[in-house]
């Protein structure tokens, strides 16, 4: 038996997850959210006459998070499997005796936990939308500044045709815009949870729907038609969207990491470069791999949430437990990915000269399609394709540039003058709708974000 390495800690904090979201999801925040829910349940019940107004007030007064010892609750949660049971007990003790009987009336642990989770989710969404907006603003700036910066578009990692860095940034922007829009719509649909022991709200008599409606209003959550103890679609939609947003952010990170390669060298991610413990020259990407890894972990956690939808009868057996933990991971890692990408785009260094120079690698054959286009009116598409392909093969075999190789193809020079060949092979002349796409993306962002960039 080996000497065992142990400490009392909770594991190394993740460099991939969002520390701010860790705060939103922390025990203290969760206790605060659960207390808010308890207070609002009592208030809603007072409103319909189920609970005396004074009792509801007394409960509200006791629902101050600072009155509770979070560490003690945390330990007790370890035994019960969740925070609800010790918290309800502690709250009851905190409430004056004559109001005590009205605490947690007709509610069940899952009502507390789910409603609190929706409050926490709302805060996570707000944080995410803020970050997406900030990334968006940076992308708008990049898109505008580089609307004319030609670079190679790359498909399957091979240079394809010219594009602009502005268009690349406009794509990044679009994904952020979509995420803001969809998260905003999900935020408005986060439902309060109130079902009681088994979903009938039996202990509230006929007042169930009325109490639920008032509770939801007070919490600023949506009113559910029915309790959703084992109808987990709202949670699954949320998890999926956060993972989608994280994946979109990671696409930015992936593009940047690929553009940062020593052999490409077109951009450098923002923030301090990562040193190496062995190599003095290294300027490692730091945020890009972190964002990529975080998005992957968020996607996997979202997969658990999707897989946990089928929950048993009126409370899931393990499926609910797995979902809760996975949802928190989606939030932590999803926000982590987004935050790392914000660091990437804030202060991204762009090297337009290198972008232009790289287009000349491989003899400038990235303009081959442009040359085809120039030939099509005369010889048709198939023949044009064949001619240019032959010129490209010559470049590949003998070196030199496509311009030179084209000049040696009589079938081409009989159609195009040298200056026409030059014009066809000028990247800035073969950008199609790139500029319009940039404008469309910026316009849509401004509309969704409700801001004017300039």
Question: Minimum distance from CB of 75 to a copy of itself (Å)?
Answer: 9
Q: Are 371 and 286 in contact (CB under 8 A)?
A: no
* N-to-C CA span, the chain: 66
In whole angstroms, give the CA distance from residue 108 to residue 111.
5
276 is known as an active-site residue: yes
Helix or strand or coil: residue 159?
A: strand
Q: Are 35 and 349 in contact (CB under 8 A)?
A: no
In whole angstroms, give the CA distance from residue 306 to residue 319.
10
Question: Minimum distance from CB of 42 to a copy of itself (Å)?
Answer: 12
Task: Decide whether 137 or 190 has the Cβ nearer to a copy of itself.
Answer: 190
Question: Minimum distance from CB of 36 to a copy of itself (Å)?
Answer: 9
Q: Which long-range contacts (CB under 8 A, 24 or more apart) does 20-26 make?
A: 20/127, 20/335, 20/339, 21/124, 21/127, 21/331, 21/332, 21/335, 21/336, 22/332, 24/120, 24/123, 24/124, 24/127, 24/331, 25/120, 25/124, 25/328, 25/331, 25/332
In whole angstroms, give the CA distance from residue 49 to residue 196.
18
Task: Decide whether 72 or 276 has the Cβ nearer to a copy of itself.
Answer: 276
Task: Decide whether 49 or 432 has the Cβ nearer to a copy of itself.
Answer: 432
Question: Minimum distance from CB of 105 to a copy of itself (Å)?
Answer: 7
Task: Decide whether 138 or 243 has the Cβ nearer to a copy of itself.
Answer: 243
Question: Minimum distance from CB of 408 to a copy of itself (Å)?
Answer: 16
In the set 315, 354, 356, 386, the catalytic residue is 315
* Residue of 426, 387, 419 lying closest to 148 (CA atoms): 426
DSSP for 372-441, please give it.
HHHHHHHHHHHHHHHHHHHHHHHHHHH-S-HHHHHHT-HHHHTTS-HHHHHHHT-GGG--TTHHHHHHHH
Backbone angles phi, psi at 152, to 5 degrees: -80, 130
Task: Decide whether 29 or 43 has the Cβ nearer to a copy of itself.
Answer: 29
* Residue of 81, 83, 111 lying closest to 26 (CA atoms): 83
Task: Decide whether 138 or 291 has the Cβ nearer to a copy of itself.
Answer: 291
Task: Decide whether 10 or 452 has the Cβ nearer to a copy of itself.
Answer: 10
Task: Decide whether 144 or 237 has the Cβ nearer to a copy of itself.
Answer: 237
Strands (E), 127-218: 150-155, 158-164
Question: Minimum distance from CB of 391 to a copy of itself (Å)?
Answer: 8
Helix or strand or coil: residue 65?
A: helix
Q: What is the DSSP letter of 190?
A: P
315 is known as an active-site residue: yes
Question: Minimum distance from CB of 40 to a copy of itself (Å)?
Answer: 14
In whole angstroms, give the CA distance from residue 178 to residue 173.
9
In the set 80, 189, 276, 433, the catalytic residue is 276
In whole angstroms, give the CA distance from residue 443 to residue 435.
12
- Using left for φ > 0, alpha for ψ between -120 and 50, and beta otherwise, residue 275 falls in beta
Question: Minimum distance from CB of 414 to a copy of itself (Å)?
Answer: 18
Q: Are 174 and 444 in contact (CB under 8 A)?
A: yes
Catalytic residue numbers? 276, 315
């Amino acid at each position: 038996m080996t000497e065992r390495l142990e400490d009392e800690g909770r594991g190394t904090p993740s460099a991939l997850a969002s520390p701010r979201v860790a705060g939103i999801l922390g025990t203290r925040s969760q206790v605060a959210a659960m207390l808010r829910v308890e207070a609002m349940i009592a208030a809603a019940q007072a409103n319909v006459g189920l609970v005396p107004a004074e009792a509801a007030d007394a409960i509200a007064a006791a629902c101050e998070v600072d009155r509770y010892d979070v560490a003690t609750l945390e330990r007790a949660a370890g035994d019960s499997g969740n925070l609800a049971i010790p918290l309800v007990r502690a709250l009851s003790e905190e409430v004056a005796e004559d109001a005590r009987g009205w605490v947690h009336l007709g509610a069940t642990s899952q009502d507390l936990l789910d409603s609190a989770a929706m409050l926490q989710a709302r805060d996570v969404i707000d944080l995410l939308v803020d970050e997406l907006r900030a990334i968006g603003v940076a992308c708008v700036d990049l898109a505008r500044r580089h609307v004319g910066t030609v670079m190679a578009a790359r498909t399957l990692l091979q240079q394809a045709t010219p594009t602009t860095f502005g268009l690349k940034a406009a794509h990044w922007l679009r994904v952020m815009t979509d995420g803001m829009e969809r998260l905003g719509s999900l935020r408005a649909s986060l439902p309060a949870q109130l079902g009681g022991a088994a979903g009938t709200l039996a202990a509230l008599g006929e007042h169930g729907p009325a109490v639920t409606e008032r509770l939801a209003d007070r919490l600023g959550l949506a009113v559910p038609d029915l309790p959703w103890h084992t109808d987990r679609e709202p949670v699954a939609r949320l998890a999926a969207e956060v993972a989608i947003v994280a994946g979109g952010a990671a696409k930015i990170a992936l593009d940047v990491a690929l553009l940062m390669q020593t052999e490409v060298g077109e951009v450098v991610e923002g923030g301090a470069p990562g040193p190496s413990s062995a190599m003095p020259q290294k300027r490692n990407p730091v945020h890009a791999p972190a964002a990529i890894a975080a998005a992957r972990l968020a996607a996997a956690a979202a997969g658990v949430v999707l897989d946990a939808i089928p929950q048993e009868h009126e409370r899931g057996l393990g499926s609910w437990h797995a979902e809760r933990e996975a949802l928190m991971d989606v939030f932590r890692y999803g926000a982590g990915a987004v935050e790392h990408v914000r660091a990437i785009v804030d202060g991204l260094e762009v090297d337009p000269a290198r972008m232009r120079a790289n287009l000349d690698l491989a003899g400038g054959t990235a303009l081959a399609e442009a040359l085809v286009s120039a030939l099509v009116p005369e010889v048709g598409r198939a023949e044009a394709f064949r001619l240019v392909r032959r010129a490209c093969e010559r470049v590949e075999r003998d070196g030199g540039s496509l311009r030179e190789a084209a000049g040696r193809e009589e079938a081409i020079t009989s159609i195009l003058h040298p200056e026409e060949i030059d014009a066809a092979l000028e990247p800035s002349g073969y950008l199609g709708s790139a500029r319009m796409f940039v404008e469309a993306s910026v316009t849509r962002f401004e509309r969704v974000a409700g801001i004017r960039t300039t």
